[in-house]
Structure 1
Amino acid sequence: MIEMPPLQFASTNGIRMGYYEAGPATDAPPVVLCHGWPEIAFSWRHQIKALGEAGIRVIAPDQRGYGATERPEAVEDYDMEHLTGDLIGLLDHLKIDKAIFVGHDWGGFVVWQMPLRHLDRVAGIVGINTPHTNRAPADPIELLRKRFGEHMYIVQFQDAGREPDRIFGSRVEQTFDAFMRKPAPRSDDAPAEQPVAGVGASPRLNLAFPQMIANYDARHDPRTPILSPEEKKVFVDTFTKTGFTGGINWYRNMSRNWQRSAELDHTVRVPSLMIMAENDHVLPPSAADGMEKIVPDLEKYMVCGSGHWTQQEKPDEVSAKLIEWRRKRFG
């Protein structure tokens, strides 16, 4: 049986946002869990339960463009100002002064921006797999295009014709069958993947995700699924209803976000935790090397044996680390 608290709604930053909440309302600072792509608040089901039962107030929104939250039409409505502003509006709705923001994948990029833009509302930050980096030396899409070519999924996502959206949207079950699996075991003599600075990921990875999904057949995939059939149905039903464009629009703002962040001080001035996953090939632990230079108050923690979907692959370990760090740093 899948346990989730009841879905609630907040009016925030011009949209209606769906969110889940557990734990005592008196607990402060609460923990806000921010999902990545292609995910929803449900990705945090294990942590919502564990943190709530530990007496920690925990809030998990479906972010802009996802799940029960509204999906504006304009692409620029998904830029970093909007994504961080949504979370401030959620705090306002709940009458919360400051929160600890925890982000995985794209949620990680958003939460690392919170103390740069809204320092007075942030108690602490936890990045899961996603490191905080300095501003890229050039437009990130151009860097990705140069390094990985036109078929790299983030480059493809810039397509105004929205072909990737159509591919994923017409193969929703295939998409989650393919993505939500443990990584293939790597042979001991395989060379370590070398990530691209500020981007993560190795040039040798097949990052043409739309084509991979279009040609995918689960019957020939030796990797272990991380979702039960019941859990997979939640993702498939949700994205069948919403499509993928809302989430992909976050990627369509990467150049805009880069252009508009030139004046920001990228130093994170709050207590921070970086949880890394040993076998994440897109956001490898080495991508977090040197973070201490711009995150002075940083603890790092490695989840061994986990691929990209860390909070779902190793839920007990991630929850335990969050609880331990929260208690140690905030009482």
Structure 2
Amino acid sequence: MTSTDFPEPTLVPVNGVELEVFEAGRENAGKPIVLCHGWPEHAFSWRHQMPALAAAGYHVIAPNQRGYGRSSRPAEVTDYDIAHLSGDLVALLDHYGYEDATFVGHDWGAFVVWGLTLLHPDRVNKVINLSLPYQERGEKPWIEFMEAVLGGDFYFVHFNRQPGVADAVFDDNTYRFLRNLYRKNEPPAEPRPGMALINLAGAEAPGGEPVMSDSELAVLVSAFETSGFTGSINWYRNLDRNWHLLADADPIIHQPTLMIYGDRDLVARSENLAAFVPNVEVVSLDCGHWIQQEEPEETNRVITQWLEHQDGPSRRTG
């Protein structure tokens, strides 16, 4: 699927906002799978998966989540906490008349899917997450912990402690930032002082190889030139709030789960994933962070085979 034949979106009212939603396989109504993008991404990041999942018999629903694309961008930072983000997905199921669905998340989308599954377990029948494993809720709120361990220049901490600074840099350098970020096979480089992503937005030349074509990159650049970055970065500004909101949830993910890692992804793997996600199957692919875009065919194969195995011969369609 290319940028020219990506589905036309519809604006769906949910949970007090509107989400820009892309669909495939509407003829497969009754078998929903919801794809949740990461940062700084777009539903377009699932362009390779949507046709494959529709062909496998699924009604594929890929929203631009709040803060992204043409979806609503509320002004209040707290409107981007896990209660709101998971509430949007629950309301999206209600809109389509679905009791539950399989949820797929990459990066921040994975965090939302983990949180949704803890807060609304009856609405999630299976979990497929890429890159970001389950995040154990330790004794300290997450940003506080990261600040102590990784320092104030770590981007999660910087986004929280210096609100608006990074947003402005990304807004002023949207094309260069996204071009320089969406790379693979990057040679190792010495860490530089300062906030790494702000440095990246100012770098003249990218490293490695592009993850996507110029026309594909243009879809993301256009979306962020329209929306700006603040809404999406506000997700980071709720991490400590999310830590509090998840305090009373059963911390165990009981649903069948597929966790896909990239061997060269810089996001840390979980050392005790099965303790919190007992029904997990783990797969590693030979790629970096942008898993489903770097290895689309392999990602599709792993996901569809796992789903087929989960559904079993009695429930298989086609």
The letter of the residue matching 1:273 is: L
Would the aligned equivalents of 1:13 and 1:89 in 2 still touch at CA under 8 Å? yes
- Partner SS for 1:101: strand
Matched, 1:243 2:245: no
Q: What is the CA–CA distance in structure 1 between the aligned matches of 2:197 and 2:304, rounded to whole Å?
A: 37
Aligned to 2:243: 258
Q: For residue 228 of structure 1, what is the amino acid of its counterpart?
A: S
Q: Which amino acid aligns with 2:265?
A: D
Q: Structure 1 stretches of 5 or more lacking a match?
A: 188-203
More deviation, 319-328/153-162: 153-162
Write the distance in 2 (CA, Å) between the matches of 1:289 and 1:302. Answer: 14
Query: Is 1:104 matched up with 2:106?
Result: yes
**1:278–1:303: 8 Å Cα contact kept in structure 2?**
yes
User: Which one of 253, 258, 263 corresponds to residue 273 of structure 1?
Assistant: 258
Query: Post-superposition shift, 1:30?
Result: 1.4
> 258, 270, 276: which one pairs with 1:288?
270
The alpha-carbon deviation at position 222 of structure 1 amounts to 3.7
TM-score (norm 2): 0.93
* Cross-structure match for 1:145: 147
1:217 aligns with 2:204: yes
CA contact (8 A) 2:66 2:72 kept: yes
Q: Is the 8 A contact 2:171 2:225 kept in 1?
A: yes
Per the TM alignment, residue 321 of structure 1 is displaced from its structure 2 partner at its CA by 1.2
Instruction: Tell me the CA shift for residue 51 of structure 1.
Output: 1.2
Separation in structure 2 between the aligned mates of residue 27 and residue 327 of structure 1, nearest angstrom: 17
User: Which residue does 1:6 correspond to in 2?
Assistant: 8
Q: Report the Cα offset of residue 260 of structure 1.
A: 2.1
Aligned counterparts of 1:307 and 1:186: Cα–Cα separation in 2: 13
Q: Aligned partners of 2:171 and 2:153: how far apart in 1?
A: 18
Match of 1:230 in 2: 215
| Mean CA deviation greater in 230-239 or 160-169 | 160-169
Deviations 1:219-263 (A, max 9, x none): xx3400011010011011110010000110000001111122211
Give percent identity, aligned residues only.
39
**How far apart in 1 are the matches of 2:310 and 2:165?**
45
1:104-253 map, 5 Å: 104-159=106-161, 161-185=163-187, 208-218=195-205, 221-253=206-238
Cα distance 1:290–1:88, how it changes in 2: closer, same or farther (>3 A)?
same
- Counterpart-to-counterpart distance in 1, 2:63 and 2:299: 19
* Corresponding residue pairs, total: 309
Cα distance in 1 for residues equivalent to 2:110 and 2:194: 20
1:326 to 280, 283, 307: 307
Preserved CA contact (<8 Å) 1:171 1:213: no
Q: CA RMSD in A?
A: 1.8
TM-score (norm 1): 0.89
Change (3 A) 1:24 1:205: farther
Task: Name which of 36, 49, 54 aligns with 2:56.
Answer: 54
Q: 1:296 to 1:72 in 2, by over 3 A?
A: same
**Does the CA contact (< 8 Å) of 1:29 and 1:98 recur in 2?**
no
Give secondary structure in 1 for the equivalent of 2:184.
coil
Task: Give the Cα–Cα distance (whole angstroms) in 2 for the partners of residues 161 and 133 of structure 1.
Answer: 24
Quote the offset at 1:160 in angstroms: 5.4
Q: Which residue of 2 aligns with 1:308?
A: 289
Moved more, 174-183 or 245-254: 174-183
User: Aligned with 1:156: secondary structure?
Assistant: helix
Structure 2: distance between partners of 1:232 and 1:26: 30
